[in-house]
Structure 1
């Protein structure tokens, strides 16, 4: 009876060891499978990122080629040139859209010269536009603060925006050296242009409500010229620069993505319009 119990005990112990081994192997297999899935997901995401960027860049190139082709076709015919620009800048959807393999891109065109440029409008122009959505006194104060930031803040304004004296000194030194190389008089202030409309919310007194109301009439990508045929009435009322009859700058906004994936890459390219050619001025990229 004792031997039988001993044998049963040994069998039970062996069974427990076998079960423990199976559990360990199952756990190891599950961990390995999870790691494999994670690695596959990382590879898939990287592939989606690469595809999205390639598609976004392809959209910019395709849109530029189409625009230049239309301008060349218009030639010196003023009416045809106007119609070509109108078709590009008033389109309700993308100017170009295509699929390459499992990648997709869509590109829209914005006439930034039909908007008031924050960096060139000056305090009076900005105040005029702001007064359409804000009390006149507040509009003048915010416009003056924006203009001071653009043209080089004084000590008080610089402190309000968090600029250190050392940073201001370095900017002034850099700008003075650049002026000397170009044969110009050295500046006493460091230029601080806005690079996005969202930066306007850092200006004391500016509100998100006012910015939302004016977003379609403002830009940071202009060149000081305003397209009178495309600008709104309030932009024309605030414009203090040169008025032109056609776009002088175009913003191409291209989004690319891989089909059935949510990750999207956006490229914004600003071009000067020179005759029938587009010349790159600015390039920005971000994930959406």
Structure 2
């Protein structure tokens, strides 16, 4: 082999080595690009999948809310219908009417309970007239009731404070507040309106929940807990002597009756397999064989 041939072979080998290195570099770069592309696609897919799951969860939760609300309302309607039917069937038979009310209010379970597709409701009945109405008890009634759980002097002071609150609410804000207070409330209302907020009324109002009693000066939580089962904010001042406790009867200052004048229907609805529960509390006046709606409250449980 001549020197020329050997040089050509060496040049060819070097050229081949350079081409091989270039090819390996190109393949490495392509692999890196492919791996980055795969990583980006995987990230995009994960994000899209996460958002899809979140959207599905939102839709499912909304469906549960709607189902729970519909079931709770159905429970109120079903219980009301059942009570009115039973009262109409009893007719003028006084003893039978008494048995209807006794059966309604003496049971510890649900009056009506049913399942519709994937929704469930359960409704219980409370004899509001068996309790002392917070806003109608009067200072004397409050003092008598509080004296069963608190020292007499404290019971007298708290009873006077509660009656003052209720009496002030009955008089209205124009009499319960002086001119300076009314001017400050009007100023605050104008400021709230300018800021696009809802003006907050400073007027006194009757108690709408038992928890509000804790805002009364001198009232203690342990006293309220001890008498809570004897109290209501949904009464009309009348007390059912057949179902009220001795403590309520001893504190009653209103009219005593022999049947419920008001009933509270507590209905809870939910969707099978979901924890979200909707509760509706509907207060009805008992007018003969009819129940007439007085108050309606809703909350999630």
Settle same-fold status: TM greater than 0.5: yes
> Deviation per CA, 1:89-131, whole angstroms, max 9, x where unpaired?
0111000000001000000000011100000111110111111
- Structure 1 segment 94-105 matched on structure 2, within 5 A: 94-105=110-121
Q: Which residue of 79, 83, 104 maps to 1:63?
A: 79
Q: Is the 8 A contact 1:151 1:192 kept in 2?
A: no
Verify: 1:222 aligned to 2:201, yes or no: no
3-state SS of the aligned residue for 2:253?
coil
1:237 matched to 2:250: yes
Aligned partner of 1:128 in structure 2 is 144
Runs of 4+ in 1 over 6 A off after TM superposition: 167-170
Q: Distance in 2 between matches of 1:166 and 1:233?
A: 47
Name the structure 1 match of 2:182: 165
Q: Secondary structure at the match of 1:94?
A: coil
Tell me what 1:26 maps to: 42
Whole-Å separation in 1 of the counterparts to 2:153 and 2:96 = 45
Taking the aligned partners of 2:58 and 2:154, their CA distance within structure 1 comes to 50
Deviation at 1:145, TM superposition (A): 1.1
**Cα deviation, residue 78, structure 1:** 1.2
- Counterpart residue number, 1:106: 122
Q: CA deviation at 1:3?
A: 2.4
Check the 8 A contact 1:151/1:191 in 2, yes or no: no
Q: Please list, as runs of the form range in 1=range in 2, the aligned pairs for 1:170-181 lying within 5 A after superposition.
A: none
Deviation at 1:205? 1.5
1:198 aligns to 2:215 (yes or no)? no
In structure 2, the residue matched to 1:274 is 287
Once the 2 structures are TM-superposed, how far is the Cα of residue 167 of structure 1 from its aligned partner?
8.0
Corresponding residue for 1:3?
Answer: 19
* Shift of residue 263, structure 1, vs aligned partner: 0.3
- CA deviations 1:196-216 (Å, max 9, x no partner) are 111111112212211111111
SS in 2 for 1:222: coil
> How big is each residue's C-alpha offset from its partner over 1:3-59, in whole Å with a ceiling of 9 and x where there is no partner?
222211111111011000000000000000000000000000010000000000000
Paired residue secondary structure (1:282): strand
Output one character per residue of 1:199-258: Cα deviation in whole Å (capped at 9) or x when no partner.
Answer: 111112212211111111000000010000010000000000000000000000000000
Alignment partners' CA distance in 1, 2:224 and 2:186: 31
| Ranges in structure 2 where 5+ consecutive residues have no aligned partner | 1-16, 188-202
* 2:274 maps to 1:258: no
Secondary structure of the 1:152 match is: helix
**More displaced stretch, 210-219 vs 97-106:** 210-219
Larger Rg: 2
Shift of 1:168: 7.2
Q: Residue in 1 aligned with 2:166?
A: 150
Q: 1:49 aligns with which of 62, 65, 86?
A: 65
* CA-based RMSD: 1.9
Pairwise CA distance, 1:169: 8.0
Which runs of 5 or more structure 1 residues have no equivalent in the other structure? 171-189
CA distance in structure 2 between the aligned counterparts of 1:90 and 1:210, rounded to whole angstroms = 26
